[in-house]
A = this chain, B = another copy of it.
Amino acid sequence: MEQSRLSHMIVLFTDFGWRGPYVGQLKAVLAQQVTDQVIIDLMHDAPVFKPRAAAYLLASLVEPFPKDTVFLVVVDPGVGTDERRPCVLKADGRWYVGPDNGLFNIIAKQSTEYKAWVIDWQPEFLSDSFHGRDLFAPVAAQLASGQLPAMTETSLAQNPQDWPADLAEIIYLDAFGNAMTGLHATHISEDATLRVNSASINYARVFAEAGKGEPFWYVNSNGLVEIAMNQADAAQALDLEIGTSLQII
């Protein structure tokens, strides 16, 4: 039987945004069930309702977190339907709790070993629209406390092996208009040119090396290829959205 141990951190990765009571309500549930764990808001503007883009983004962020960290991950367009099951993934010693809709596929694919479970445990009250608060948060709290909720081993609904390791698409736009891609920089030469919409984009090491208002790509701080412009909004200038596809030349 799988064992859980006390974890030091619960990490939140959602598409809730900072507005509204949603993040606060989720943390209130955690705060009533765990005491010593630090809760980290990793991000709350994950690609809204886009689990595929979110899967590549999440996978680029987990490496610095210690084993036994519990990630509470909610990007869940199918909430309240039977289309998707609630699940737990354990990959390389870290736990992930959220909907089984592809969100964890790149984590699983990149891991040395992983196991997945469907969550059988049920809360007393389950709203139709907020499983993050009612179901996933209590499960995350149990895992972080060294307890295992009722759950059954399963395969992920989508086979991670069917997904590409690199995704030649925009997966995230930040507040400054920088556009992350699903491409790992280690898989691409600095000589490579990216084509996106009708623009050609070359490499620069840092913003200051690029001409003002000229698009460039660089290796972002999480190891992904990112498209940016020095002191300008690349997403706007190049008409980039989450899902826009790229060619590598």
Contact = CB atoms under 8 A, between A and B. Distances in A.
Given A79-B206, A129-B221, A218-B129, A27 B40 contact: yes
A40 B24 contact: yes
A41 interface: yes
Contacts of A6: none
Contacts of A80: 205-208
B21 A9 contact: no
Contacts of A32: 8-9, 66
A202 to B, nearest CB: 16
Given A205-B80, A221-B130, A175 B28 contact: no
Nearest to A174: B20
Chain A's interface size range is: 35 or more
Nearest to A23: B41
A40 B48 CA distance: 24
Interface stretch (A11-19, A106-114, A238-246): A11-19
Q: Which 9 A-B pairs have CB atoms at the shortest separation, nearest pair first?
A: A130-B221, A80-B206, A24-B42, A127-B221, A19-B175, A17-B175, A31-B38, A20-B174, A21-B43
Interface of A: 8-9, 11, 17-21, 23-25, 27-29, 31-32, 38, 40-45, 48-49, 61, 64-66, 78-81, 83, 127-130, 133-134, 172, 174-176, 205-208, 218-222, 231
